[in-house]
Amino acid sequence: MNDTPSLAPLLELEGVADAVASARTAIDEVHGHPANRRGWPATAAEASVRAARASAGVAGGAAEIPESGSVAEPQLAGSLRVAEALGNLLGTWQRAPRQALARLHVLAAADLVDDPDELGRPRDAPEVAERLDLLAEILTAPGDPPPGPVVAAVVHGELLALAPFGAADGIVARAAARLVVIGSGLDPKGLVVPEVSYFRRQQEYAERAAGFAGGDARGVAGWITYCCRALESGAREAKSIADAVQES
């Protein structure tokens, strides 16, 4: 008997199914953009950099790369390292999420912790290990998974709430959500940039994340629908990238 909780009931929460459908439609449309049919490696690369910059900005770091190209600010440097590694981490994420999270933390927090032994190691607290194990079980459970937007929102919200490492947790959480969005097939080319929406609306981001952490149905639904709207906004950002590539 499998006692691993299912995320499927979350689709029944108010507004979630419609928000998921809208996010899927927006992402499908941007994948059909002429610039993304053959030139998607260029648009995906730009999306990755924008996502990293925005994620660093949400974490309180720099959101702009210096003209020299040399990045010293630790949040941005870590976020860019994470972005560069996501493609190679996708397989690990899908079979061993905890291992992938550890690697994300090593990359994100390398310039933020004094003791290198702390890199990739969750905080020594029973609830941290238990919740990370449960999250890994949910992600690797057999059967048809729930829709990508729902899984991404849950992973994102849970990692923000848990703060498992104590440094760069937000960067890790946003990167893990990006891995879900890509690996689920929702956005397989990595074109969409929801991180820009989080950066531009940081107060709402924090409020919705707190609602999810509270655990009541209304707060969880609010977070998932918010993340879906951010995916839609991220699809508009992706369209602007594709338009610029097409015009160049």
- What is the rounded CA–CA span in Å between residue 97 and residue 58? 23
Q: What is the pLDDT of residue 19?
A: 98
Q: Is residue 11 part of a domain?
A: no
List the domain range (segments joined by +) for residue 34.
16-61+73-247
Q: Is residue 10 part of a domain?
A: no
Residue partners of 4: CB distance under 8 A and separation at least 6: 134, 137, 138, 141
Q: Is residue 230 part of a domain?
A: yes
Question: Tokens in use for 214?
Answer: 């509270």
Query: What CATH number does residue 183 fall under?
Result: 1.10.3290.10
Q: Is residue 132 part of a domain?
A: yes
Find the Cα–Cα–Cα–Cα dihedral 127, 130, 132, 136, rounded to 10°: -160
Indicate the number of domains in the chain.
1
Residue type at position 215: G
Find the Cα–Cα–Cα–Cα dihedral 13, 189, 238, 81, rounded to 10°: 100
Q: What is the pLDDT of residue 1?
A: 40
CA nearest neighbour of 53 among 81, 84, 80, 73:
80
Find the Cα–Cα–Cα–Cα dihedral 233, 237, 238, 241, rounded to 10°: 170
CA nearest neighbour of 215 among 146, 131, 141:
131
Q: What is the pLDDT of residue 3?
A: 66
Q: Is residue 66 part of a domain?
A: no
Q: What is the pLDDT of residue 2?
A: 54
Query: What's 189's DSSP letter?
Result: T
Q: Is residue 39 part of a domain?
A: yes
CA nearest neighbour of 22 among 203, 217, 231:
231
Q: Is residue 95 part of a domain?
A: yes
Query: What's 188's DSSP letter?
Result: T
- For each of the chain's 248 residues, which pLDDT tens digit applies? 456 788 999 999 999 999 999 999 999 999 999 999 989 999 999 999 999 999 999 999 999 999 898 999 999 999 999 999 999 999 999 999 999 999 999 999 999 999 999 999 999 998 999 999 999 999 999 888 899 999 999 999 999 999 999 999 999 999 999 999 999 999 999 999 999 999 999 999 999 999 999 999 999 999 999 999 999 999 999 999 999 998 87
Residue type at position 243: D
Q: Is residue 98 part of a domain?
A: yes
